[in-house]
Amino acid sequence: MEACERSDPIGGRICSRLCSVKHPILLIIVAGIVIRLVLMSASMVYDLDYWAVVIRNIESGEGLYDAEGYYYTPVWGYILGFIAACQSMLLELGEVAVRVLEAFPVEIIPETYYTATAPSIAFIYSVKIPLMIFDLILAYLVMVLAKDYTGDSKKAVLAFAFTFLFPVLMLSSGVIGMPDTIAAVFTILTIVLLRKDMPFLAGASFSLAVLTKFFPVFMIFVFVAYLIAKNRGNPRRGVSQVSMAVAGALLATLIVFAPQIIEGNIEQCFQFIFDRTSTVTGGTMFDSIVSILRIVAYAVVLVLSIYLAMRVVRCKPEALDKSLMKTCLIIAALCLVYPPTTQYMVLIVPFLAFWLTCGDSRYLLSWKIMAIGSIVYVFASNALTIMPLAVWTDLISIDTVVAVFDWFNTTLVGSVSIRSLQFIAGGIVQCIGVVSVFYIMYGDRLRGMRGSAVERTGL
């Protein structure tokens, strides 16, 4: 708290105000839920439309991969299956989507992912509310870690607030409707379980994190290093714990992939990765360069994560937990420098919230930059996000929505429009937010000052 007030008067005032409330966590939960429930009516319809397709395919008996529509590893698909079952058994959704004639032109705007299909408001909420629950679990787990590390309940509440109210998280789950929060939950749960000496469940949890979204895979070396370092005085126990974690991960992986292994089409599960790392058939030279750069970037992250893990192994026991969280923050930031997409950045949310409350309040700057960047970025599709509201309610007309979108999409110079400028600006600001993490972490060293930021605040 003091550190918070010292370096950031406004943030400090917010902290003070929050902590003075009798039940601050209740206030944060209510605020976070209310904001999300309002935001949910706005949607990145392209993604929500795909979830409607996936659920249709599941209900048709086509599983996840037989019929076109699902391109990720299976975990999110299974959760959509769970949501589909709940919809089927408990809800009355009616028609889940309609085609909007007036919005057809958005589908042929080059280099964009827009659709003229408007999912129903009921369908949108039925998919996003489960994501909100994962947001809540994520914030709770960060709070648990903060309390464990500092023993300070107020800092724990702040960690909860900075997670649950982080616009990146709210927009990813509440507007875009992406499952990155689930990957973040399983990643943080892995850390909690590793610290509590439950390596088997930690391994299973890590497996589900990676099989939801790919990025946590770069943390594997750090987690193994943590177990080895933690049991340095008892190598046999260390080996046993690593083995248990591997067993848990393998078992969870086997269960997740069982249907695809049986059907012999497991390669379909990794289309998401190949799409983002392979060169596109018929693509331009630019596409090829971007793909190659992406492979190079991930290779660099891989090498750096191994290097960082080796540092964790050499860490002193009293600094081990601190080192684990710090290394995870660095790896998350490394993964997210490019592409700076809001939903991907969810992985950094828990680590950033943890560090800015428990380590160095200067990370609040990164938090703010990412928050602004995500808002600019997500609403680059501006009026289209409220197309479902226009179609399914009388709050606004479709013509107005399309007219506003057209205005934003009017080209200024060449193919540059306000929409594309906003999109690029949002991405750049988010990227700056991620880079600022490195600046705060290593800036002191770069300037030749003594001691790292963390040592200075003395967590």
Which residue, 87 or 305, is less far from another protein as judged by CB?
A: 87
Of 98, 96, 83, 88, nearest in space to 122 by CA? 96
Cα(187)–Cα(172) distance, integer angstroms = 17
Contact 325, 145 (CB under 8 A): yes
The bridge status of strand 416-417 relative to strand 411-413 is antiparallel
Residue 359 makes contact with another protein by CB under 8 A: no
State in angstroms the smallest separation of the CB of 13 from another protein.
33
One-letter amino acid for residue 292 of the chain? I
Contact 391, 100 (CB under 8 A): yes
State in angstroms the smallest separation of the CB of 384 from another protein.
15
Q: How many CB atoms lie within 10 A of CB 206?
A: 28
Cα(157)–Cα(143) distance, integer angstroms = 6
Residue 79 makes contact with another protein by CB under 8 A: yes
Residue 75 makes contact with another protein by CB under 8 A: yes
Stretch that binds another protein, among 3-11, 189-197, 363-371, 421-429 (CB under 8 A): 189-197
State the Cα angle at 375 between 372 and 378, rounded to 5°: 145
- The residues in 14-73 that bind another protein, with binding defined as CB under 8 A, are 52-53, 55-56, 58-64, 66-69
Residue 259 makes contact with another protein by CB under 8 A: yes
Which residue, 55 or 301, is less far from another protein as judged by CB?
A: 55
Pick from 136, 170, 175, 208 the residue near another protein by CB under 8 A.
208
Residue 74 makes contact with another protein by CB under 8 A: yes
Residue 269 makes contact with another protein by CB under 8 A: no
Which residue, 211 or 301, is less far from another protein as judged by CB?
A: 211
State in angstroms the smallest separation of the CB of 185 from another protein.
7
Give the DSSP H or E segment for 154: helix 153-164
- The residues in 288-347 that bind another protein, with binding defined as CB under 8 A, are none
DSSP 379-423: GGGGGGGGHHHHHHSSSS-HHHHHHHHHHHHSEEETTEEHHHHHH
State in angstroms the smallest separation of the CB of 95 from another protein.
5
Give the DSSP H or E segment for 99: strand 97-99
Residue 275 makes contact with another protein by CB under 8 A: no
Contact 72, 272 (CB under 8 A): yes
Contact 424, 412 (CB under 8 A): no
Residue 249 makes contact with another protein by CB under 8 A: no
Residue 256 makes contact with another protein by CB under 8 A: yes
Q: Convert 83-94 to b/e letters by CB count within 10 Å (16 or more is b).
A: bbeebeeeeebe
Which residue, 94 or 448, is less far from another protein as judged by CB?
A: 94
Three-state DSSP class for 94?
A: coil
Which residue, 84 or 348, is less far from another protein as judged by CB?
A: 84
State in angstroms the smallest separation of the CB of 28 from another protein.
20
Which residue, 399 or 455, is less far from another protein as judged by CB?
A: 399
Q: Give me the residues paired with residue 97 across strands.
A: 119
Residue 264 makes contact with another protein by CB under 8 A: no
Which residue, 201 or 217, is less far from another protein as judged by CB?
A: 201
Pick from 78, 226, 355, 405 the residue near another protein by CB under 8 A.
78
Contact 204, 249 (CB under 8 A): yes
Residue 91 makes contact with another protein by CB under 8 A: yes
Stretch that binds another protein, among 31-39, 202-210, 236-244, 343-351 (CB under 8 A): 202-210
Residue 87 makes contact with another protein by CB under 8 A: yes
Cα(79)–Cα(341) distance, integer angstroms = 22
Q: How far is CA 267 from CA 106, 213, 264, 348, 442, in A?
A: 32, 16, 8, 28, 40
Using CB under 8 A as the criterion, what x/- string covers residues 111-150 for binding another protein? -----xx-------------------x------x------
> Site residues (CB under 8 A) for another protein?
52-53, 55-56, 58-64, 66-69, 74-75, 77-85, 87-89, 91-99, 101, 104-105, 107-108, 116-117, 137, 144, 185-186, 189, 192-193, 196, 198, 201, 204-205, 208, 252, 255-256, 258-259, 281-282
